[in-house]
Amino acid sequence: MAVVHRFESVGAENVLRSTRLISFERDLDSLALAIKHSAHFPHLWHRAPAAILADGHWRHASERLQWDLMRGDFSRTMDSAPWPDLIFYDPFSYKADAPLWTGELFAKVFKHCGGKSTELYTYSASTLARSALLAAGFFVARGVGTGPKSETTIAFALPSGAADHPLKPQLLAHEWLQRWRKSSAKFPASLSPDEQTRFAESIELHPQFHRG
Cα dihedral sign, 202-207-208-212: positive
Contact in structure between 135 and 109 (CB atoms under 8 Å): no
**33 plus 138 within the same structural domain:** no
CA distance linking residue 81 with residue 24, whole number of Å = 10
What is the full DSSP assignment across the chain? -HHHHHHHHH-GGG-SS-EEEEEEES--HHHHHHHHTGGG-GGG-SHHHHHHHHHSEEE-TTSSEEEEEEES-HHHHGGGSPPPSEEEE-PPPTTT-GGGGSHHHHHHHHHHTTTS--EEEES---HHHHHHHHHHT-EEEEE--BTTBS-EEEEESSTTHHHHSTT-PPBP-HHHHHHHHH-TTSS-TT--HHHHHHHHHHHHT-GGGS--
If asked whether residues 129 and 52 sit together in one domain, one would say no
Average pLDDT value for residue range 94-106: 89
Reply yes or no on whether the pLDDT at 86 is more than 80.
Answer: yes
What does the pLDDT average to over 187-198?
89
pLDDT at 212: 59
pTM score above 0.95: no
Classify residue 119: in a domain, yes or no: yes
pLDDT digits (tens, 9 = 90+) for 28-60: 999 999 999 999 999 999 999 999 999 999 999
Q: Are residues 100 and 175 in the same domain?
A: yes
Let me know if residue 78 belongs to a domain. no
68/7 same-domain check: yes
For the chain, the C-alpha Rg in angstroms (whole number) is 18
Give the model confidence (pLDDT) of 141-171 as tens digits: 999 988 888 899 999 999 999 999 999 999 9
Based on the domain organization, do 67 and 137 belong to the same domain? no
C-alpha to C-alpha distance for 169 and 156, rounded to whole angstroms: 11
Same domain, 132 and 164: yes
Largest CA distance in the chain: 55
Spell out the residues 6+ positions from residue 86 whose beta carbon is closer than 8 angstroms to its own: 118, 119, 120, 121
Which residue type, as a one-letter code, is found at position 9? S
Percentage of residues in the chain having pLDDT higher than 70: 100
Task: Indicate if 202 and 105 belong to the same structural domain.
Answer: yes
The answer to whether 208 touches 139, Cβ cutoff 8 Å, is: yes
Q: Number of structural domains, the chain? A: 2
Question: Which residues constitute the domain of residue 91?
Answer: 83-212
AA identity, residue 145: G
Residue type, 26: R
Mark whether 181 and 106 lie in a shared domain: yes
CB 41 within 8 A of CB 31: no
Residues 147 and 105 in one domain: yes
